Chain A
Amino acid sequence: MKALAFGAALALSCAAYGQDVAKEIQRYRQMVAEGSPAELFELEGEELWKKPQGPKSVSLQRCDLGEGPGVLKAAYAHLPRYFKDADRVMDLEARLVHCMVTQQGRSREDAIARLFGTADRPSELELLSIYIAGQSRGVRLEPGMSHPKEKASYELGRALYFHRVGAWDFACASCHGDEGKRIRMQELPVLYKPQYARPVMASWPAYRISTSQVITLQWRMNDCYRQMRTPEPDFGSETTVALIHFLNATAHGAPYQGPGNKR
């Protein structure tokens, strides 16, 4: 059989590729997951969680991620949610920055100085995220949906998903809006539909094999907007949190699988 090069891949018809291909890719993903280095980064994240830092020289272990100070079980699965002390809806990453500033006494500039890491050198936030998310394994995804600000965040996220912006007039839905689409060999899940959102949201944050990086949802939002040719969103902004809220709410009920592995 010939090499499955760029051109040949296109010849695989524009519709969703055949069952055999899907099955083999699934087998690939499973074998890779069995030996993923993601676990190593969870260990590093745990160390950072416990490390005293900042002018106040305290660790993050008293940080309340929504389930109580220092409680990690189910914390990730129940985010984003409203936090009274900040009077806003926050996702995991925004909340971690909040704790770094308020509990460790670090400045926001210091806390967000290095947001996204490089190969084998994840950022502090990425390591903390992958560790904390791992503590929600098996817990059903249930972001906050009762507080008025939580509902507003969800609605904003939903509107943003379909809102066209930027130089190319793209919305999330431009790529993630119709079934059966893919970019090269990468399937594009229709994330506003629960059955597609669930398996996807149940595996973030993740270890990205192709770049040996730990990637988080804040990174994903940032990178999607970059690919959409828009200005860079602020880290942990209302926009990004709203989108993450919408996505996790759409995936509501899915048991969190733990940090995943992406291509």
Chain B
Amino acid sequence: MAAGPMKMRASLGTGFTDVRVLMTHPMETGLRKDADGKVVPQHFIQNLTVKLNGKTVLDAQISQAVSRNPVFSFRLKGGAKGDKIEVSWLDNHGESAAIETVVA
């Protein structure tokens, strides 16, 4: 499945940057059956990486128990205009996607 749209919002708080990222992904558990009764195979994001100005600040491993079309909120220390934030994911099929935003 091609990576669907991602959306990220980064807003400055007091002393931190609030980052919210929405991703499109089925997050199939492998326990669900489709309309024909066939088991839908596992297909889910396993790794997430958050980078601030090119440096990894957060590494996450997630399971198929995270909801479909995952939404995550993170907080980065400090933060200022011009900061570049990148969030990327990698799933169990080896597919990946990323989104980048600049704090304005």
Contact = CB atoms under 8 A, between A and B. Distances in A.
B73 A120 contact: no
Nearest to B24: A40
Contacts of A37: 22, 24, 69, 71
Contacts of A21: none
Interface residues of A, number: 11
Interface string B54-73: 00000000000000110111
A224 interface: no
B23 to A, nearest CB: 8
A39 B7 contact: yes
Contacts of A119: 26, 68
A36 B68 contact: no
A230 interface: no
B24 A35 contact: no
A44 B6 CA distance: 11
A53 interface: no
B4 A35 contact: no
B13 interface: no
Interface string A12-49: 00000000000000000000001111011001100000
A212 B27 CA distance: 11
A120 B20 contact: no
A35 B68 contact: no
Q: Which of B20, B71, B73 has the most CB of A within 10 A?
A: B71
B21 to A, nearest CB: 9
B5 interface: yes
Contacts of B6: 40
Contact of B4 (A34, A39, A120): A120
Contact of A43 (B5, B26, B68): B5
Given A120-B4, A120-B68, A212-B69, A40 B22 contact: yes
Taking each of A36, A44, A119, A212, which has the highest tally of chain B beta carbons within 10 Å of its own beta carbon?
Answer: A212
Contacts of B71: 35-37
Interface string A104-142: 000000000000000110000000000000000000000
Given A120-B68, A120-B69, A44 B20 contact: no
A262 to B, nearest CB: 15
A35, A36, A39: residue with the most chain B Cβ atoms closer than 10 Å: A35
Q: Which 4 A-B pairs have the closest CB atoms?
A: A35-B71, A37-B69, A40-B5, A212-B68
